[in-house]
Structure formats: C-alpha cells, structure tokens
Chains A and B, each alone.
Chain A
C-alpha cells in the first residue's frame, strides 16, 4: 500500500466553483499534514498545514483532517484560473520530525 495516495486527476472545475482535493495516508503514526501547490516548472510552495481533526480555514482554502479515516482534504472556494496547478499532499510518516512523504499530486485546472 502506498504511503500517501492522491487522485492524479486532472480535476477540472469552472471558475468560481469549489475544488475538492483528497488524500489518504497509510501510517497511523502520522501527526502533521501539509498541502503544497506546484505550478508547472516551479518548486512546491506550502499553502496549508493541519495537525488536529477538523477543519482549518485560511482565506479561500480549507484543510480538513480525519485521523480515524486517515484522510485529509483541501477545499478551494471561488476557484480562480490562477489556482491551476498540481497540489501535493505531504505527511510526516511515522511522526518523524524530519521526513515528509509526498503523494503524487493532483493536477487542478480551473476553466475561465
């Protein structure tokens, strides 16, 4: 079983819609969860982090964590064409303070 799984997409949504990105992880010892955004040809950029069950909101972004289901998601409200990118889920497998394990990413396209 892969450690961090994401649907590769592409996920296509119209401008103004809500984009929902999902991630599951296999290691129950994981404690920290991150979402990175990577534009084509650029480096990953941290956009959200979440550590406790529930929702965490930051502007148009909401991260949701359910440790019992080993599931983390990212919602992007009022999606804009500038949100078009690959979104990477990362997890500190085994509760490591150093190592983050990444999913393969979901390509999101927001259509004007």
Chain B
C-alpha cells in the first residue's frame, strides 16, 4: 500500500487550461502539504492543512486553490495555467513535522506548453 499517493504522475497541458492534482495518505497523519520543486530542485512550501483547516498559505498566486475534503485527502486545483507553473508538485503528510519530518508522495510532473 502506497503511504502517500498522488495522481496523476505526469500532466502535460496547454497554457490557460485548468487542472487538478489529487493526493491521498493512509498513514493516519493529521497534516498534509503541497510543495513545489522547480528545475533547480528547490522545494518550496505552498499550502498546509491540519485536520481540514488551512494553516499555511505561502505567497502563491490565487490561481492555485487547495481543498481538503477530509484529513486523508488534499487536492490542488490550478486555474489559467502559465508556463512558469511547470514544475514537480509534491504532496506530503506528517503527524508532527518537528518530530518526524514529512512523508512525501511520488510527485506530479506538470508541464505547461
């Protein structure tokens, strides 16, 4: 059983489209995250939800909207995709990040053409 699973693994789409990425964790963790990793491998936090409540919302264009229907799921919807949105998006989960760090999903490679 995959602990943190993301779908799709690859996403190629045209500029201006709207797309969603889904994430599910079966670890019983209460906090989930979205990170963006650019071409230089820099991992930057975007959002975090704790028990369905948004607790971290970094400086991200409002074209990005996270949704957490329950504490095991965190989705990311992106409107009006731009070339600069091309990156790998990682979902992660934790019980207590300061104690045990994160468990990452396998990532979604988004390419905007």
Instruction: List chain B positions with a Cβ less than 8 A from chain A.
Output: 31, 40-45, 48, 50, 55-56, 90, 94, 96-107
Instruction: List chain A positions with a Cβ less than 8 A from chain B.
Output: 31-32, 34, 36, 38, 42-46, 49, 86, 88, 90, 92, 95-102, 104-105
Residue of A nearest to B42 (CB): A104
Cβ–Cβ contact B97 & A96, under 8 A: yes
Say which residue of B31, B42, B100, B103 sits within 8 Å of A49 (CB atoms).
Answer: B100
The 11 listed contacts between A and B (C-beta, < 8 Å) are A43-B90, A43-B104, A43-B106, A44-B43, A46-B103, A49-B101, A98-B31, A98-B55, A99-B45, A102-B43, A102-B44
| A-B contacts at CB below 8 angstroms, number | 62
Query: For A38, A44, A45, which residue has the most chain B Cβ atoms within 10 angstroms?
Result: A44
Cβ–Cβ contact B98 & A95, under 8 A: yes
Cβ–Cβ contact B90 & A98, under 8 A: no
